[in-house]
Structure 1
Amino acid sequence: MQETKAWKMNGFLFFLVELVLLGGGIYFFTQDNYALIVPCAILFILIANGFLIVQPNQGYVLTFFGKYVGSVREDGFYWTNPFNSSKKISLRVRNFNSDKIKVNDKDGNPIEIGAVVVWRVIDSAKAVLDIENVGRFVDIQSETAIRSIATRYPYDTHTTDIESLQGNPDEVAHALMVELQERLTIAGVEVIEARISHLAYAPEIAQAMLRRQQAQAVIAARQQIVEGAMGMVTMVIQNLEQQGVVDLDEERKASMANNLLVTLVSESGTTPVVNTGSLYS
């Protein structure tokens, strides 16, 4: 089903026709000319059935004895075929705020996730004739898409090359929007925006996952500190040798590297020991 424009005419023109028919019917009634009163009454009722008032951001889907004949989306006062059946649909922007959905992330951890979806109908024919209830359809498909997206990403990660639900909200929102649009195109719906509104570990594992996150953060920080300290030790030894300040053998290099690493990596401040020589020569 594809939306098309329905045939329509200016409603005020036919309103004038209605006034003429009404005046004619009254005149014929006063003249006891019942043969003309009946046709005027029939025409009056038929024309009255064809009036259509369209509010802003509102549409009507018209069918003629079961066949789709078009839609009216422009606001105004119109007249259409009086034998058409019409069904009203809202074209306004609407929000869907999902409940907190419990689902497993990519790593299998139970999490709670929720999202806000902003949408509107852009094809009234699909929304009315292809879908039983477009609002309910959007609700169900949105929850399904949220579950699907949550299983594709881990909740969090300490590496930059892996996207996560917590670390890459914009990328996750874009992926959710794309999947929603694919699911809702059949209903003639346009997804304007989709955002994660709630994200947390499930209560039963929240404390354990918090401790794991803290441990992973400590490990990542210590790894970065060690890598930086190794670079500094290498630089110091190379500079000493290139400038000829001291001549170090392998044993002294190892001792210096050990002392520098202890100084740089230690979490507490180190107390330097100054070697002033021996009392005995």
Structure 2
Amino acid sequence: MAPDQPGVRHARLIHSESTTEIPVHLLFRDDSDPVAVPLTPTVVARRLGTDEPPRASRPAPQGRRVPAVEPESAERPARVLPGAAGVLAGLGGTAACAAVSWWAGGLPPDTVSALGLPASAGAGLGFVQWAAYAGAGTLALFGFGGLARGRTGRAWVLGRFGRYRGTVRRTGLMWVNPLVVRRRVDVRLRHWRSEPIPAVDANGVPLRVVVLVTWRVRDTARAVLGTEDHERYLRECVESALARVLPQVSGDLPPAKDGVTLRHVEAVADTLTRLVAQEAAPVGLEVFSMQPTRIEYAPEIADWIQRRRIAALDARHRDTLLSSVVDSVEDTVTRLTTRGLVELDDYERKALVKDLTVAFCTRRSADGV
């Protein structure tokens, strides 16, 4: 070992089970002698001052992420005026146009006299008259062009320059700014019956499922602006839910682990409704129920499944018939021997049982039991 040289420090280390390797000179170093410390992660085997292991941080749950919707795209009422305001504005603009025409001398004398107006000044069409025409015409166009009729179960989503301006759910005659873009939305309770959707059960058997979905548009802004086509989005949610739920349920015997098969329609429908409602809520759709109306096997295996069911029923019938015949034979032999009507040894007993079994089976088969 080389002798110690003056001015040279040796990196002595502290070794312990409850700590990592810590250089001693780091504990008592002064600021005048900086030491470079590598920024590498170290693993602490024990908590400081105790013998307990460090607490492991729990990872964040990795659930299905629901698409976020901006708060400003949530539905809010739009500013509209009663229809009487639009009618009055349109009539006022029309009357103003007629007045400017009379002022410029554009009305025929017979019309002026019929209306009881004084003779026009005949000022002609100058800049002032054209400006008055423009103002009056604009007022008439805005008044009559903004008139709209709201219907029950219908709503309008208004937008201007690509920005959401509100939703109109009022009914009757109203006035809406004619410069906004109107998109009509059906907010009534609606039923959608799907076409046969391909799926598989827990045993991998291909199925064809027809579902009936009851839904409506709850938030018009998110339904129209949050997705390109909310009806298509709902159909895709339905297909996704079927692809996630049906592979966990057996279509026929044997049942799944929880004992639920596709014959338990209520349990399957509740699960499907919950999944579809959760997926459709972020885009403003409210799903009330998703009920399978028809579940059938795919055409390529329907015949095989039918033959399998017939064979199972036939085997069950034969088992029932055999059990009934055995019980009848046993009861007959027991009565004959216990009442002392006959004395039978083992050979005679076997022969009697054989003859009775053949007779009972023949009679049951002839009767179709």
- TM normalised by structure 2 equals 0.58
Is the 8 Å Cα contact of residues 94 and 140 (structure 2) preserved in structure 1? yes
Q: 1:202 aligns with which of 288, 298, 308?
A: 298
Equivalent residue, structure 1, for 2:358: none
Q: 2:278 aligns with which of 177, 182, 190?
A: 182
Give how far 1:17 is off.
2.2
Aligned-pair Cα RMSD in Å: 3.0
Equivalent residue, structure 2, for 1:192: 288
| CA offsets 1:119-171 (integer angstroms, 9 cap, x no match) | 21111101111111122222222222223222221102366951111x20111
Unaligned runs of 5+ in 2: 1-72, 105-122, 124-128, 345-369
Q: Return the alpha-carbon distance in structure 2 between the equivalents of residues 218 and 158 of structure 1.
A: 18
| CA offsets 1:197-245 (integer angstroms, 9 cap, x no match) | 221122332343345446667888999x9xxxxxxxxxxxxxxxxxxxx
Give how far 1:55 is off.
1.4
Q: 1:104 aligns with which of 183, 200, 205?
A: 200
Is the 8 Å Cα contact of residues 98 and 143 (structure 1) preserved in structure 2? no
Give how far 1:93 is off.
2.6
Equivalent residue, structure 1, for 2:220: 124
Is the 8 Å Cα contact of residues 255 and 261 (structure 2) preserved in structure 1? no
Equivalent residue, structure 2, for 1:12: 84
Is the 8 Å Cα contact of residues 199 and 242 (structure 2) preserved in structure 1? no
Q: Return the alpha-carbon distance in structure 1 between the equivalents of residues 92 and 224 of structure 2.
A: 37
Is the 8 Å Cα contact of residues 202 and 248 (structure 2) preserved in structure 1? yes
Aligned residues: 241
Equivalent residue, structure 1, for 2:261: 164
1:247-266 alignment runs, 5 A limit: 266=325
More strand by share: 1
Equivalent residue, structure 1, for 2:248: 152
Q: Return the alpha-carbon distance in structure 1 between the equivalents of residues 328 and 298 of structure 2.
A: 40
Q: 1:65 aligns with which of 143, 161, 181?
A: 161
Secondary structure of 1:102 counterpart? strand
Confirm or deny that 1:272 pairs with 2:332. Answer: yes
* Greater radius of gyration (CA): 2
Confirm or deny that 1:36 pairs with 2:132. Answer: yes
Secondary structure of 1:269 counterpart? helix
Give how far 1:22 is off.
0.8
Is the 8 Å Cα contact of residues 89 and 139 (structure 2) preserved in structure 1? no
- TM normalised by structure 1 equals 0.74
- After superposition, the Cα gap between the structure-2 partners of 1:176 and 1:159, relative to the gap in structure 1 and judged at 3 Å, is closer
- What fraction of aligned residue pairs are identical, expressed as a percent? 25
Q: Return the alpha-carbon distance in structure 1 between the equivalents of residues 253 and 261 of structure 2.
A: 6
Unaligned runs of 5+ in 1: 226-262
Is the 8 Å Cα contact of residues 88 and 143 (structure 2) preserved in structure 1? no
- After superposition, the Cα gap between the structure-2 partners of 1:168 and 1:63, relative to the gap in structure 1 and judged at 3 Å, is same
Secondary structure of 2:75 counterpart? coil
